[in-house]
Amino acid sequence: MIAGLAAYAVAAPTPAPQTPIPGGSLGASDYQSLGDPRVDPSAFAQALSGLGVTFTRVWLLDAWATGTGETGSYEGVLPVTRRNDGRWDLFTWNDRYFQRLQTYAREMNQRGITPVFTLLELYSWSEAKQGLLWVPDQDRGLFRANVNGIRWGRPDSPTFGALPDRWLREFSCRVVDTLTGTRFVVEVGNEMPDAPMHDRVLAHLRTTCGYSGEVWVNREHDTPDLFSTLDLGRRYDRWSIHGAAALSYLDEPRGKGPSRTFRALYESGIDMGRIVVSSDGARASTDVELAYDYAGLTAVATDILRRGGSYEHQLAIKLRRFRDGRYDLADVKYDEAFLRGLAAVAR
């Protein structure tokens, strides 16, 4: 099990030298694009640039990696090495991964795109995700099948209480060091619970890793009440909201405070530049050709962009990887008209 950690005090962050992603920006993402060796970072960056986007979100740790059909795999480019017996050595680092990470950021930057690197995801270890569609066997993953005695999840609570553990502390600082000299943003986690864990990770990034750029947050449940707890602009920089498939999300009663709806929150005088709405969680189908209700997404995205917020789209390209075990960059065509239309709205 993970050893307990001393308490962290959340330090006041050093402001980023500039805002790499202004409010009103448009992004598009393939979260597996770092870990999947079939993705050429240069070609992917060029494709994104052609769609008119200025940021992209990508997971630093990927449960699926290459994604072999519906079973998943852990055979992509990962930050640690695997022994001949199939077990992982979490403290023997994979230089190829960090070289690819640096190349990825540089290729994006050269085309005017800022990568948002998501540090934590749940699919490779959390009991909340095991058994869901396409989720691979977590017992084969980094945080179960390793020689280091590290175990994340099952149960989840001790893991959330201990993170960042020694491994995550070292990994996150290696990421920051590798990306020095590039323009990038860090997101603590994808649909991640546990506010105290977020604060400890934030403190580690600031005080130990020396990271002074933006830190984004995306929590497990998106409600208007969450806004007041994030202290946006002082602790965290942006809040990413997932799952808005239609404009009706604005008026759904999700909160208990004065802002019971997102419409009420947005119109309460907050800095909308701190808000990012994402199509992650808004998929209509597992077929790449029918992945989204684009009319609904267009209404959501146009609204948030005109309010001064940003919009991030999860590309349908990932579905070919999951369904067929293939990657085809040409699949960006399914999102092309949607994104080019929004690029005219984005700042």
For residue 5, pLDDT over 60 is answered with: no
User: How far is it, in rounded angstroms, from Cα 228 to Cα 257?
Assistant: 10
Tokens of 249: 């999300």
Q: Give the 3-state secondary structure of residue 28.
A: strand
Is residue 19 domain-resident? no
239 CB-near residues (< 8 Å, 6+ apart): 216, 217, 218, 226, 227, 230, 232, 274, 275, 276
Is residue 12 domain-resident? no
For residue 13, pLDDT over 60 is answered with: no
Question: Which H or E run contains 119?
Answer: strand 114-120
Is residue 52 domain-resident? yes
The tally of domains found in the chain comes to 1
User: What's 35's domain CATH number?
Assistant: 3.20.20.80
Is residue 30 domain-resident? yes
What does the pLDDT look like over 275-321, one tens digit per residue? Answer: 999 999 999 998 999 999 999 999 999 999 999 999 999 999 988 88
What does the pLDDT look like over 136-175, one tens digit per residue? Answer: 888 888 999 999 999 999 999 999 999 999 999 999 999 9
Which of the two residues, 10 and 231, has the higher pLDDT score? 231
**According to DSSP H, which parts of the chain are helical?**
41-51, 95-110, 157-162, 166-178, 195-207, 227-230, 262-266, 294-306, 318-324, 333-343
Is residue 6 domain-resident? no
> Containing domain of residue 31, as a range?
26-343
Proportion of the chain above pLDDT 70, given as a percent = 92
What does the pLDDT look like over 194-253, one tens digit per residue? Answer: 999 999 999 999 999 999 999 999 998 889 999 989 999 999 999 999 999 999 999 999
Is residue 266 domain-resident? yes
Q: What is the DSSP string of 265-277?
A: HHTTT--GGGEEE
Q: What pLDDT band is residue 10 in, cutting at 50, 70 and 90?
A: very low
Is residue 233 domain-resident? yes
The distance from CA 59 to its chain's CA centroid, rounded to whole angstroms, is: 5
